[in-house]
Amino acid sequence: MCGIAAVFSNRPIPFATIKKMTDIIEHRGPDGEGHQSLFDDKLWLGHRRLAIVDLSNNGSQPMSYKNGRYWIVFNGEIYNYIEIRKELEALGHRFVSTTDTEVMMAAYDEWGEACLHKFNGMWAFIIVDTMAKTLFASRDRFGVKPFYYAVKDGTIAFASEIKQLLVEDFVNKKANRDKVAKFLLFGEVNIEKETFFEGVNQLLPSEAMRINLDEGVGSLKIWRYYQPPLNQSMKRDGNLTEYQRQFKELLFDSVRLRLRSDVPVGSCLSGGMDSSSIVLVMHELFKQDGVRNNIKTFTSCFANKKYDEWEFAETIVEQAEADSYRVYPDMNDLFNEIEDLIWHQDEPFKSTSIYAQWNVMRLARQNNITVLLDGQGADETMAGYHPYISVYMANLIRAGEFQTAAEELKKLQETGLISATEPPGKVWLKIIYHALGIKIRRGSDVKELLKKEYQHINRTEIPTNFQEYLYTEIFGSLQSLLRYEDRNSMAFSIEARTPYLDYRLVELMLSIPGGYKIYDGYTKPFLRQAMKGIMNDKVRLRVDKKGFVTPEDIWYREKFAEIKSILLSDDSPLDLWIDKAQLKNWLNDPVKPFGKYHLWRLLSVHFWMKKFNLL
């Protein structure tokens, strides 16, 4: 895990430019930095290193291969690099380090751009072939690692974080007004090429880029190199037992690969199914290898039991014989740290739960952990969120699977899952609407606040097909969670790894018929089955769901006078989007500001505009 930077232009670039781009992300790589000039200073590569594999200087970047023909800057990990290395050695390649970085360049030399299909990991990298005079760049399949770029006046700059592109005149420091408006209205973020900064774009998940250096920036080409297959059937076809076997085998192997590290590895632990499963799989793997390893786990807790999951996390800690560390986030601390948090996040964020994660990452660093495993991606790939239930039931009905729908509905009632977050009548209404193909209004509760020029903006539509819905979630809403995790972890020089986003697991789940995604009255049935006999049923059979939740509504009420003062201040940049008179009325309403994330979105944009001094 590191930070990368690069600049290519039709004219020489001063060293000071690339140096400033790497200096500003020292937090991403405190263990070293490097810079490389190519083509008479018209191309610079820069890197900040967080040493994870091969801690020697052999792992320093920018790194070269084949006597300087290839140069690379790379952020991420290729977990199966040992297997790929063996394959390449059999083909005649030789290595001077034990890093995955060198393996990537050899793979590119051997297989060209098709090397991407060999990699199991997370990445954002740039490879320059000085002989062919090409620049090849890529972002991993599911967007775990960030990759930003900006093009201006014959120059293109690349970065791991947007703030790197602001140190020079690569872009105008101006907010993307429509993107911000869409965020204020619907909370949408990180699902499109454009970012919140005008002129700054991102490579989307599964995208690659090529530039012919002789032809300049105008030759830039971007394409999607990966699209996982999708089984759209709702019929419970196939061998369920075989699906379950494959899932468990791949889950254990995914965690095993993500334990490869030359520095200490720990795990986040919320008390929910996803992180609890990771901790217990780690424990099982260590037992199988005869290793005594007291796993370090890190949990966000709250005194208010409505928001606290320690009761469940403690059960897992005892089962795994783990060393547990806890932190108690506080709203006063959040307000004291909000500028730092915003600066590291680069863009606004939807809720204060990001601050809970921020505290967990800091706690891990304070206890000498450099790599953390986490459960991102499980809900999206395995239909774990409760709102998926109504779409699932409706799709069974529309597919003519009436018996399965009736049986599953009964079981959902028996387990209590159908009423875990919403009144059953509301769930029933959603099922009927979805089954009839009637679009449920997904408007905005704050549309009245926005100025007329932003009233036309609509929410991104989601598919009504259940399997397509999950697919869209992976490449849609999950992206904001991955951004939060990347920035929060790297703020404290920690590498976060996501076992549920092993492409083999994702492909398996997308290939399994939708009818199996909710089973016997439970979401995530494959994970629950895999953990049978391993995880205490108190956690394994939970139907309530919290995640990195915070007592947000309580915090708002405690600090409401201060929040109102901030939002209504004469110098608030929210005036670009918000009608101040309408905002004042809205804030004076005893109900409207509370219960949802709208208040935080307003605060987040306010602080973001101020921190980055945007127009």
What amino acid positions are annotated as catalytic residues?
Answer: 2
Alpha-carbon span 378 to 12, nearest angstrom: 46
Helices 503-511 and 240-257 pack at an angle, to 10 degrees, of: 160
Alpha-carbon span 253 to 245, nearest angstrom: 12
Buried b (16+ CB within 10 A) or exposed e, 455-470: eebeeeeeebbbbebb
Q: Rounded to an integer, what is the distance from CA 286 to the centroid of its chain?
A: 27
Are 384 and 378 a contacting pair, CB within 8 Å? yes
Distances (CA, A) of 82 to 100, 105, 109, 301: 8, 14, 17, 38
Strands 265-268 and 296-300: parallel
Query: For 139, what's the count of Cα atoms within 13 Å in the CB-facing half-sphere?
Result: 24
Question: Strands of 148-152's sheet, edge to edge?
Answer: 33-38, 43-49, 2-9, 155-159, 148-152, 201-202
- What is the sign of the dihedral through the CA atoms of 150, 155, 160 and 161? negative
Are 459 and 442 a contacting pair, CB within 8 Å? yes
Give DSSP secondary structure letters for 98-145.
--HHHHHHHHHHHHGGGGGGG--EEEEEEEEETTTTEEEEEE-TT--S
Q: Is 102 left (phi over 0), alpha (psi -120 to 50) or beta?
A: alpha
Q: For residue 447, give both structure tokens.
A: 């549309």
Three-state DSSP class for 51? coil
Alpha-carbon span 603 to 354, nearest angstrom: 14
Alpha-carbon span 76 to 453, nearest angstrom: 41
553 labelled binding-site residue? no
Are 389 and 427 a contacting pair, CB within 8 Å? yes
Three-state DSSP class for 268? strand
Query: For 536, what's the count of Cα atoms within 13 Å in the CB-facing half-sphere?
Result: 16
Paired with 148 in beta bridges are 159, 202
Could you tell me what percentage of the chain is helix, strand and coil, using 3-state DSSP and rounding each to the nearest 5? 45, 15, 40
Alpha-carbon span 42 to 11, nearest angstrom: 6
Alpha-carbon span 403 to 572, nearest angstrom: 57
Paired with 149 in beta bridges are 158, 201
Name the DSSP letter for residue 203: P
Residue type, 413: Q
Alpha-carbon span 178 to 614, nearest angstrom: 14
Are 44 and 250 a contacting pair, CB within 8 Å? no
Binding-site residues for L-glutamine: 100
